[in-house]
Structure 1
Amino acid sequence: MKIVIIDYGAGNIQSIKFAIRRLGYEATLSDNPEEIKQAGRVIFPGVGEASSAMAKLRASGLDRLIPQLTQPVLGICLGMQLMCKGSEEGNTKGLDIFDVDVVKFPESVKVPQIGWNEISNLKSGLFTSITENSHIYLVHSYYAPTCEDTIAVSEYALLYSAALGKDNFYGTQFHPEKSSSVGAQILKNFLEL
């Protein structure tokens, strides 16, 4: 099975590649639309700021391609946020896959949220063999509120979407590639969906 990590200059690519290799698979880094369309699984990573990341996607036409993909697609961190309707960060219009807008944590809490947190209310094949209240690793200042696409929640001053899912699209606010054995199992589940 061909696994492609979308290359648009806004990703934590190496740690994802290593995590996939540890599971016995190889992933290719690509911004080629044909190669992405032909992949069995697509990973949409993201680290950085929403509006500049979306500008890179628009410049390459990937903003039009990603919502049309029919194979399983996993957005990670900013990748998940860009799959939402929009983001307060840089007043950014998103890919409109998940029906929710990303907002900034209230000023009463320290941002970014960095470190380990629990996930619960797990509702997807993405979480096969994952127990409620397992720990995952996060780094973020913006979040997707809970909505009908929420498939896992976490709490940091308020409940928010730790993961989203709709049709063939999945997103994790957390970094599965940095979330130890729990994250490895989630990546394995995604690759085996």
Structure 2
Amino acid sequence: MATRYQVRLKNLAGVQVGLITDWRSLTYTKRVNSVDDYTLVIDGELSLVDDFVLDGQIEILRTDIAAVPVIPSTVDLEAFHRTAVRETNVDGLSTFTSKGLGYDDLLRRRAILFRAASSQADKSGVGETVMKAYVNENAGPGATSPPRLFAGVNTGLTIQTDGAAGTSWEGEKSFRPLLSVLREITEA
């Protein structure tokens, strides 16, 4: 399989501001129940390096160019740009490095900020239902204050309809990292 990659650069509003087809290096790792990451190194003299902003988005597109008929590009990774490094070596060669984390980083950034014994911290039910409730109340549209200690709504974050799948789970998780709790529920 012959594969071609492209990197789509988006601003904070999700509008494409650039398409990168040539780079010095591109690596990325997709993880189950953890945060994906990427590192992209490009020519530091490119004008689009100024379009990399904190929490701007990148999409890594993959195309199988040997397929007949050619299969359209698919998004292989979606992530937030988090760190920029500009370097110039002794020969005057300038590079720009973008490092970032997958969208699941939104869940890693949140904690369950409800007091013990509250219905938002103390939950029981099938895994999917409990997980979606925790996400809604701590990162989604329901992450408002009060009753949450601090508002935590991530604008644009949506939650699929609950399919009530998984095994039964019960626990009290006040002041615990959200992504860690979600991992614990999936492993129950």
What is the TM-score with the length of structure 1 in the denominator?
Answer: 0.25
**Bigger share in helix:** 1
Return the index of the structure with the highest Cα Rg: 2
Q: TM-score, normalised to structure 2's length? A: 0.26
